[in-house]
Amino acid sequence: MRTPKTIIATTIIAALHLSTNVSAEQAYSLSCLGEGHSILVPQTTAKYLLIPIQETSNESRVVVFNNNEARQSLNLRLAKDKIDYYVPFAYKDGDKLYIHEPFNRDAAYLHTSDNDVAWKSAIKFSDTFNIDSNEKYRPRFHFAPLTGWMNDPNGMFYKDGVYHLYYQHNQYGAVWGNLSWGHATSTDLVHWQHQPEAIVPDMALGMIFSGSSVVDKDNVAGFGKDAIIAFYTAAAERQMQCMAYSTDGGMTFTKYEGNPIATSGKTDFRDPKVIWHEPTNKWIMILAGGQEMEFWSSSNLKEWKYESSFGEGQGCHGGVWECPDLMLMPVEGTTEAKWVLICNINPGGPAGGSATQYFVGDFDGKKFVNLAPEKTKWMDYGKDHYAAVTWNNAPEGRHIGIAWMSNWQYANITPTKMFRSSNSLPREWSLFEYDGDYYVKSAPVREFEQHLVKASSKSKISASKKPVSVNIPQSADGIYTIDCKLQKPDNGMITMSLVNAGGERVDMTYDGSSFSVDRSKSGLTDFSTDFPVKTTAPVYSKNNSVELRIVVDKASVEVFGDNGRFVLTNLVYPGKPYSKIEFATDGKKAKVTDLNIYKISL
């Protein structure tokens, strides 16, 4: 039995390297049918077909058929002239592959002889598949897929002490495509165990796009008490809402035979979020339809009625509205509660591209009314916080959210290889009042706290124009948390920077009313012109000081200001871990207090 090299915070249950290290026969036949069509017939009992991928190649359509029936279709970026990596395809006895390449007919390619195409001579069969879990930018305590591409978190629910997380997953390449719901579980929101794929595409309705799950405690849908009901968008040429149920606690799902359960003439119609609305005794489904959020209602989770739409003239409309959520939240320090409507939007975010906006208001089971229609509110002002949604059925009424830590502007080309993208830290969401308006606060879940081990501390540092620096212990190796309090000079600003031995740096500046994170010199930035930027958040306090918690995990810097009253989440790709902190002002004297650097114990 092969064990994975090291994934510190991630134990692998359903790994890909399952059996003994027997190398399989390489036998297969490949019949060329002319003009980019061929049929591959494996002649081995090996578990995996290892497929050579080239990310810049066009997608080829591969239909897997068995006994003359098509059972699966995949879009694969088969390697033309260079192999970036292999992806494993677990095939069944008797499977054959009909390969049609490429979709975008590329004349030069079509006329090359078969043997000139890299994948044809490089395809392999094996009982094992080796995952490089030590990739340089693989996070250690943020969730990332074992292999392949990930985008939005989906269908999260809590039950019997376990947090379930599903996610948009491409098992067959580290770029967007072939979307299914990957699955992972955790009992503490820090350590994640990979589980087998939960819901996979079907040839009838298409890929499995984003959605949500509920625990059906009263068996209203008739699949059994406590069945897990997942709602997702089936996406091929058109998008429609479907449901699937699980009677084994979310491990395996059966697609409901009455699918689809909600349809529309809109071409962007997706991402069902289902919640229980106590006051009207109804289930509510919130759907993203174009640049609006639609509210639908149901008593049995199967039949849905359209109620209303929200969006026209409200908030930001720089792009498509996606991935909604809706929840009633108490307002801190009061007896009031308000409804918060989450509306992820792409593009149109405050720093360009994808971001999470929200509206605070009232919801009566039919209609959402925004209390501050003239304002746009963002949950996170960094560039890499998208598709944020919460866990259903979380304990103690907690609102625990998680976001995909990337941005559609460059998500497909970030400098990783066998996997692409990770999630934000799970965060506790709450509501606070400031200057007569309501805002969402988002701070790391308290479970994270238990993993912080103090490595060094300084009670007071004086900062001035000449930078003063503090070392980050080398053993932290790019995974650590920094807490401190910045007191800015009167009529001035203070900058705190993370700097590495190669001079790469992340500059964070506080000027009293705003806080910015500049990653333009943070390391590798040239893979996209949208990457090297400065992101800026408003600061909701007037006392010239901010309390910071900065969480670093290899390739991400999450800044939580004033316990989550402002947040900036940004990816970074430094050549070496940032190894010191520098403080400097624009001339006047300033104070840094309660500086604590923590290593993360996992």
Under the criterion CB under 6 A, does residue 442 sit at the interface with ligand FRU? no
The neighbouring-strand residues paired with 514 are: 538
Q: Which is nearer to ligand FRU, 344 or 495 (CB)?
A: 344
Q: How many residues does the chain have?
A: 602
Task: Classify 209 as helix, strand or coil.
Answer: strand
Helix (H) or strand (E) run with residue 370 in it:
strand 368-370
How many C-beta atoms surround the C-beta of residue 73 within 10 A? Answer: 17
Sequence letter at residue 428: E
Nearest approach in angstroms of CB 407 to ligand FRU is 10
Count of alpha carbons within 13 angstroms of residue 192, beta-carbon side? 24
Q: Which of residues 247-276 bind ligand FRU (CB under 6 A)?
A: 270-271
179 near ligand FRU, judged by CB under 6 A: yes
Residues 529-558 that bind ligand FRU (CB under 6 A): none
Q: Are 22 and 126 in contact (CB under 8 A)?
A: no
**Terminal CA-to-CA distance of the chain, rounded, Å?**
24
Contacts of 587 (CB under 8 A, 6+ apart): 464, 465, 489, 492
Among 79, 323, 403, 452, contact with ligand FRU (rule: CB under 6 A): 323
**Contact letters (x/-) for ligand FRU, 208-247, by CB under 6 A?**
-xx----------------------x--------------
* Region 504-523 residues binding ligand FRU, contact defined as CB under 6 A: none
151 binds ligand FRU (CB under 6 A): yes
Q: How far is the CB of 408 from ligand FRU (least distance, A)?
A: 7
CB closer to ligand FRU out of 17 and 270: 270
| Token pair for 481 | 């948390």
Q: Please, what is the minimum distance in Å from the beta carbon of residue 227 to ligand FRU?
A: 23
Q: From CA 321, how far away is CA 323, in angstroms rounded?
A: 7
Q: Does 152 bind ligand FRU (CB under 6 A)?
A: yes
**Considering the complex, what minimum distance in angstroms separates the CB of residue 413 from ligand FRU?**
16
DSSP element (H, E) containing 18 = none
Please pick, from the candidates 387, 389, 568, 590, the single residue that binds ligand FRU as defined by CB under 6 A.
Answer: 387
- Applying CB under 6 A, the site for ligand FRU has a residue count of 12
> CB-wise, 127 or 271, nearer to ligand FRU?
271
Find the binder of ligand FRU among 197, 216, 322, 507 (CB under 6 A). Answer: 322
Q: Is 106 exposed, middle or buried (0-12, 13-18, 19+ CB in 10 A)?
A: middle
Min dist CB 270 to ligand FRU, Å, is: 5
d(CA 303, CA 219): 15
Residues 580 to 599: which contact ligand FRU by CB under 6 A?
A: none
Determine how β-strand 590-600 pairs with β-strand 192-199.
unpaired
Cβ 356 to ligand FRU, closest distance in Å?
11
CA distance 123 to 133: 22
Residues recognised as catalytic: 152
Give the residue with the Cβ less far from ligand FRU, 208 or 221: 208
- Of 183 and 599, nearer to ligand FRU (C-beta) is 183
Question: Residue 349 is inside which H or E element, if any?
Answer: none
Rounded to whole angstroms, what are the CA distances from 213 to 216, 272, 397, 427?
Answer: 9, 9, 16, 19
Q: Tokens standing for 274?
A: 């289902």
Of 54, 57, 128, 168, the one binding ligand FRU by CB under 6 A: 168
Q: In angstroms, what is the minimal distance from the CB of 235 to ligand FRU?
A: 7
Contact call for residues 358 and 311 (beta carbons, < 8 A) = no
State which residue, 262 or 387, has the beta carbon closest to ligand FRU: 387
Binding site for ligand FRU (CB under 6 A): 151-152, 168, 179, 209-210, 233, 270-271, 322-323, 387
